[in-house]
Amino acid sequence: MVNFKSSAGALFILLSLVAWPSAAQTESREDSDELSRVKERLAENFSLPEHTYKWTFRDLAGDRDLKIDGVANRMTLGFGARLDQIVTEANVNFTFSYSPVLAAEVSQLRITLNGEVVRAIPLRRNEADQQHQHQIRLSPELMANYNELEFELIAEAQGMECSVFSPAAWLEFFGDSTLEITRNQLVVANDLAWFPEPFFDAREFQRLNLAFMLPDEISNEYVQAAAILASYFGSEADWRGVETKLFRYDQEPLVINYFEENEFSFEHNFEWPEQHGIIFITNNSRPWLLSDLENVNQPQVRVVTNPVHRAYKLLVVQAPTVEGLVTAVQGLTARPIGLSGPTFDVHSLDIEPRPAYSAPRWINTEEPIRFSELVDFPSELQRTGYQNAPVALNMRLPPDLFTWQRQGIPVDLKFRYTPPVQRDESRLRVFVNGEFIKGFTLNESGMEGASDRIRVPLLGENPFAQSALQIPAFKLGALNRLEFEFSFSALSEECRVQPLGNTLGSIDGDSTIDLRGYSHYTEMPNLHLFVKTGYPFTRYDDLSQTLLVVQENPTNEEINSVLTAFSVMGAASGYPAVLVNVAQVADVPEGADKDILIVGGDVLREWLQRFGRSSLDKQLQAHGLAGQQQLLYSPDGSTQISGPSAAIVSFESTLTRGRTVVALTANQNGFLPQIDALMRSNERNTAVTGFMSVLTPGNTRHLATYESYYVGELSLWNRLSYHLSRYPVLVAVFTLIALVTLVMVMYWFLSGLARRRRQGS
């Protein structure tokens, strides 16, 4: 017999199970329709934004003089243009003054853009005592990917009997003169073929601004993936630097307000970047406006249109789970060449750790390096004209290069030049970091072709040594600038005869600098090496020997500090940190053999509580700061203390000898961005030194190191000699003891020998 109630109940449950997917599908379809309507409304309100850029002449000229004269009569200012923008208007506003001895009705200032004359300004002698202001419109049609705005002085100096081309005919621009350009944003295709464009464009000379989008709740994998990408863009931006901006998203839909006749408005739950940006999502965690992106089965990177600001693009890093986000970023940054299409799938990835000192931007210590490898274009090694900017080579040496008691770093220098008609004041001068090293007279013998190249003699007259230029090692830091300045004399016996200007000097690209035989050994802690080169972390440029320690859900300020630090390290090494690891303090194993980067005051406090603070306290005690925790973090976990301060601090790890801990910390999280600003500023971070830099609203103090340790490899004899040399009195005592001992041994030996002879006789 069948129980009716039981059968009816089963039927009801069955019908409910059948109907439930249909209801879910209906809800999903309605949500999809609503998303489509919102995106249609965003597309209707879409317009191309306009950007205005302004640079001063000082920004564009760098460290060059803003002065031209009758001999060195040209000044060129270069600037780029982005791939995704088009110039609609350009104006140059400049102020200058000039010499009162210019020849009348001859002198003029000629202005050209990319070789096309845009204006010629007459220079009248009776107006020489005035400041002259001009505004010139530059035609957008003349703009290219790279542009050169050139100012040429065509002038003579009026003498007693005739006019001559002379440095006395000068013109100087004011540094606050400006170049202002307006550009319209263009919409580019969703294609990775141009990557890293449009997120980074090498034609731009200003600091790269990067927008990162992360969920409200993040794990280590999000921090690790974002740090790797920040280091990659830092390596691409190089000297420009990187400034990051963080956006946090949730999964809630927009707040939509409906009106009559299908009209509606909506509000964003969070801010979307009004620029190109990078967003990290998984199949189960993404913003509502990106919920129509299909799920993925493997880590993937794709380019999509920013749904709110549709003129811009989003680089979407997506994976089924958070672990795949790191794989996706590793695949993108390790192999960015040959990409094409809107998506890039990472099916499998096996990245081997790189050996130490492999950083592409560091000079190789295993073989001589040619000058041609230190420049982007061969023309950078050549100069024309009687006076011009020097040939400049930027050299990044391994920060721990041991140069003690070395005569110098040899440079096998070869150069060519047009010979002067007669012996005069023509010179080639060599500078390192602005300090004069050596000068050479350019004679009339003529040097042409490979067989006539010159080898610069040693500073010491050693006839048996191969000719080379010795750079004193004590003048070389981690970042160096080697300059070769050609200076040709312009002699003319006749009035009003302009020199032909056909002089040319060239540093041969086969010239070499040789760092073979140098060891790696340096004193730590040394924050100057960290802020300038990322050392000791960048010793392995993939950061495979680095552990980043953050709290479980870092604040926006802490994440931005992570991104800033990694962009600085990427710029210094030229390689992304694809193998860095991220952990919390509780997860760091005892005896971890890695260099540690700590970000955040709470994290530093937790680290010191777990692993001890003996090495840090020794440094603080030497400065009378023992127990002054409020400089580094809030002792009671509260931010209600006397005032804000931030610090970069470094000390030896208590987990493994010879390993380094660097902490970016603040007693109030809102003050942590002060460290970011310090690290991004080349002018400010030059002063960073010692084991700690403390930043307060009033000033910045740098505290010297008192308790040192050493990292690197050095032979036992060199290590002993180096450390004993720091204690001359002790060396003198040891030498005296050794001499007395030697004398006594010789006395005993000779006395015994004499005794044996007497006994034998």
pLDDT of residue 477: 65
DSSP state, residue 298: S
Closest among 93, 117, 109 to 179, alpha carbons compared: 93
Which strand ranges, in their side-by-side order, compose the sheet holding 504-507? Answer: 382-384, 504-507, 415-417
Confidence bin at 461 (pLDDT 50/70/90): very low
- Maximum pairwise Cα distance, the chain: 140
Dihedral sign computed on CA atoms, order 336, 339, 342, 347: negative
Task: List, in sequence order, the alpha helices (H) in 321-374.
Answer: 322-334
Q: Tell me how far apart the alpha carbons of residues 666 and 601 are, in angstroms, rounded to a whole number.
A: 5
**Closest residue by Cα to residue 48 from 182, 158, 210:** 182
80: helix, strand or coil: strand
Task: Answer yes or no: is pLDDT of 40 > 80.
Answer: no
Mean pLDDT lowest among 19-33, 335-349, 420-434: 19-33
Mean pLDDT throughout 495-508? 68
Beta-carbon count within 10 A of 539 CB = 24
The predicted pLDDT at position 423 comes to: 67
pLDDT band at 30 (very low <50, low <70, confident <90, very high): low
Q: Using alpha carbons only, what angle is made at residue 416 by residues 411 and 417, rounded to the nearest 5 degrees?
A: 135
What is the torsional sign of CA 352, 356, 358, 359? positive
The pLDDT assigned to 384 comes to 80
Cα–Cα–Cα angle for 64, 68, 69, rounded to 5 degrees: 145
Which has more pLDDT, 753 or 341?
341
Given a cut of 80, whether residue 6 has pLDDT beyond it is: no
Confidence of residue 683 (pLDDT cuts 50, 70, 90): confident
Q: What is the mean pLDDT of residues 167-178?
A: 89
Q: Is the pLDDT of residue 163 over 80?
A: no
Max mean pLDDT range (19-28, 32-41, 101-110): 101-110
Give residue 448's pLDDT. Answer: 38
Residue 454, pLDDT score: 35
pLDDT for res 413: 86
Task: Specify the higher pLDDT residue, 187 or 161.
Answer: 187
Confidence of residue 468 (pLDDT cuts 50, 70, 90): low
Between 543 and 729, residue with greater pLDDT: 543
User: At 432, is the pLDDT very low, low, confident or very high (cuts 50, 70, 90)?
Assistant: confident
The pLDDT assigned to 534 comes to 94
The reported pLDDT for the residue numbered 21 is 46
Indicate whether 455 pLDDT > 60: no
CB 318 within 8 A of CB 296: yes
Nearest Cα to 668, choosing from 552, 530, 558? Answer: 558
Name the least confident of 102-111, 122-131, 348-357, 394-403: 102-111
Per-residue pLDDT, 463: 36
Question: Residue 165: its pLDDT value, please?
Answer: 60
CB 334 within 8 A of CB 578: yes
Give 422's DSSP letter.
S
At residue 449, the pLDDT reads 36
Does the pLDDT of residue 678 top 50, yes or no? yes
Instruction: Identify the residue whose tokens are 């406090």.
Output: 605
Model pLDDT for residues 700-720, shown as the tens digit of each residue: 999 999 888 999 888 888 778
Strands 546-549 and 581-583: parallel
Whole-number pLDDT of residue 164: 55
Range among 54-63, 554-563, 614-623 with highest mean pLDDT value: 554-563
Specify the higher pLDDT residue, 285 or 15: 285
pTM equals 0.85
Check: CB of residue 652 under 8 Å from CB of residue 666. no
pLDDT digits (tens, 9 = 90+) for 95-123: 999 988 877 677 889 999 999 999 999 99
Residue 453's pLDDT band (cuts 50, 70, 90) = very low
Mean pLDDT, range 60-70, rounded to an integer = 85
Q: Does residue 551 have a pLDDT over 70? A: yes
pLDDT at 64 over 60: yes
**pLDDT of res. 11:** 36
Burial 730-751 (b: 16+ CB within 10 A, else e): eeeeeeeeeeeeeeeeeeeeee
Whole-number average pLDDT of the chain = 83
Which range has the worst mean pLDDT, 35-39, 233-237, 324-328? 35-39
pLDDT confidence tier of residue 156, bands split at 50, 70 and 90: confident
Residue 685: which H helix or E strand, with range? helix 682-685
Q: Where are the alpha helices (H) located in 265-305, listed in sequence order?
A: none
The pLDDT assigned to 669 comes to 86
Question: Residue 495 above 70 pLDDT?
Answer: no
What b-and-e string marks burial along 304-343, b requiring 16 or more CB atoms within 10 Å of the CB?
ebbbbbbbbbbbbbbbbebebbbbbbbbbbbeeeebeeeb
Predicted local confidence at residue 46, as pLDDT:
74
Burial class (CB in 10 A: 0-12, 13-18, 19+), 26: exposed
Predicted pLDDT of residue 13: 38
Phi, psi (5° rounding) for residue 411? Answer: -125, 115
Higher pLDDT, 760 or 518: 518
pLDDT at residue 3, rounded to an integer? 41
CA angle 427, 432, 433 (to 5 degrees): 125
**What average pLDDT does range 733-739 have in this prediction?**
83
Q: At what angle do helices 556-573 and 220-237 cross, to 10 degrees?
A: 40
With cut-offs at 50, 70 and 90, classify the pLDDT of residue 50: very high
% of residues, the chain, pLDDT over 70: 83
pLDDT score at 277: 95
